[in-house]
Every structure is written in structure tokens, then in C-alpha cells.
Amino acid sequence: MVIETIESVSEARLDAILQKYFTNSFRMGYISVDGVTMPVRYREMEEEIFNWKVNEEDVWICSFPKTGTTWTQEMAWMIMNDMDFERAKVNLGVRSPFLEVSALFDFRNSMKEIPGFEPPPFLKNSLQFVKNQPSPLCLKTHLPFNLLPRDIQSGSKKPKMIYISRNPKDTCTSYYHHSKLLEGYTGNFQDFCKLFLAGKLTLSDI
């Protein structure tokens, strides 16, 4: 029996797994941006995010997917809004928007093909949605540091930033189930784990 290790899996094999099992109507393909795997739509958003006008009153919640982001968003938002449980009934995507989510879920083809289909504004055009929100804002991003706005990377703007980390094994397992349920992944856990370890999953780097 031959055991396939991550070291023995070729780049071409990993790309084939990604293309076969992790592309769909809202995720057409992938690119590498400064070593980070991103959906192709990110190319349309990259420059705008890099040149983003950072407001130092905002709180940035930064994490790799499936590390505890949603819990942290809820806690941070509640603290920022004096424990307003009534306003907290509003969808979290509205209260604490996800900066680059439109790159991960590109529904433009679905909007053309499915009569009456209209995703909420925070999914349809996440950058524009965030721009329209008043500060101070509780903002979520999964972008690694090297893809964050220039103002943050240079230190010229210093908003409050919360970084979240989690045990990699638990992160991989959780990300797998999330991807099967919500992101259109159709492969098995073994192939998903290979992509995870190789930095081939969305928002991963090598």
C-alpha cells in the first residue's frame, strides 16, 4: 500500500483537485496573489482593498477561516454597541460586514440565470456595502497581513485589530465541513487536507 504524503503530491495534482472539487457557479477558479490562494474575482477587488481608506475608529477582526471569527464578531460588536440586544437581532453580515466576501461568493452568474435571485447587499458587493456603513465599524476579514490595506501594512493607520488563531487540526476539520455545506466542495476529507497543508485553499498561503 502506497501512502501519499503532502510532500509527494505534485503542484499539478493539487491544482487538479482544487479545480475538480472546489469550483462551482459562484467559485469559477483560483489565482495566487502574493503567495495567497484566492478566488478569481479577487483580482477585481485587489487594488481597491489595497488602497482602502482605513478609519482608525473601526475594529478589524482578522482571522483564518473557521478559527472562531463569528463568536468574536458577536462579542466585539456587543461591546462596541453597549450590549444592545435589540439591534443584535439584525443579521451579523449587516452589523459586522465581511470585507472581501463577494470574492468568495460571486453570485453574478446566478443573478443572470435564476429569475428573481437577489443576494443581500453585503454579499452582492461587499466593498460598496462596507463603504456605506457608518463608523465605528466592526469589520471582518480573512485576508492575511500581506493583503490588507496599505495603510495598515505601513502602520500609517492603526485601527484596533483583533487576531484569532486556532489549533490547525480543528481548523482543518471545521473548514472541511463548512466547505461541504456552504462553499460547494465535493471532494473527500483526504483531498481537502492535502489542499489545506499545501496552502491551496482559499485564503491560505504557502
- B/e letters for 120-144, b = 16+ CB within 10 Å, e = fewer, are eebbbbbbebbeebeeebbbbbbbb
- C-beta of residue 57 within 8 angstroms of C-beta of residue 136: yes
177 is catalytic: no
Three cell numbers written together for 67: 478559527
CA 204/CA 56 separation, integer angstroms? 27
Helices (H), the chain: 11-21, 42-50, 69-80, 92-95, 101-104, 108-113, 121-124, 126-131, 150-154, 168-182, 189-197
For the chain, the residue count is 206
Catalytic residue among 41, 95, 142, 194: 142
Active site residues: 142
